[in-house]
């Protein structure tokens, strides 16, 4: 089922992915990305194991505030340290780690529901 018609045209949607890249609103982007409802940007993160709170600065600075962060940890789901999850939660962001393919499937659904969602994805 194609839900993209239910998403306002000024919003960023995840159209697909390929080896090392993501298609966001019709534009292919190589490497890791942060997708916010109103923009997409390159993400300097390279490995889920080395993520710090600073890596999430674009998400934490977003207005309106992001409530749910879908964290794509690459080809397989990897957990992040409890301390990092807590630090994000303390800033009002619930982080949901999953493999990046799952993020591609989930982001548009939450966006279509009007949720304040962002995606931060490492490539598959």
Does the domain formed by 4-122 have CATH 3.30.565.10? no
Domain boundaries, the chain: 4-122
Confidence (pLDDT) at 4: 58
Q: Token pair of 52, please?
A: 């710090």
Mean pLDDT, 10 residues at a time, the chain of 124 residues: 65 95 97 98 95 98 97 97 97 98 95 96 96
Confidence (pLDDT) at 10: 85
Predicted TM-score (pTM) of the model is 0.94
Cα 5 to Cα 72: distance, rounded to the nearest angstrom: 24
């Amino acid at each position: 089922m194609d839900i993209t018609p239910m998403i306002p045209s000024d919003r960023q949607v995840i159209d697909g992915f390929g080896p090392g890249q993501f298609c966001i609103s019709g534009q292919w982007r190589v490497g890791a990305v942060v997708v916010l409802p109103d923009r997409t940007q390159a993400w300097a993160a390279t490995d889920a194991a080395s993520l710090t709170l600073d890596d999430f600065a674009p998400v934490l600075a977003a207005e309106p505030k992001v409530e749910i962060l879908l964290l794509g940890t690459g080809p397989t789901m990897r957990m992040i340290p409890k301390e990092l999850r807590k630090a994000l939660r303390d800033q009002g962001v619930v982080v949901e780690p999953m493999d990046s393919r799952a993020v591609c499937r989930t982001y548009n659904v939450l966006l279509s529901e009007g949720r304040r969602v962002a995606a931060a994805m490492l490539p598959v």
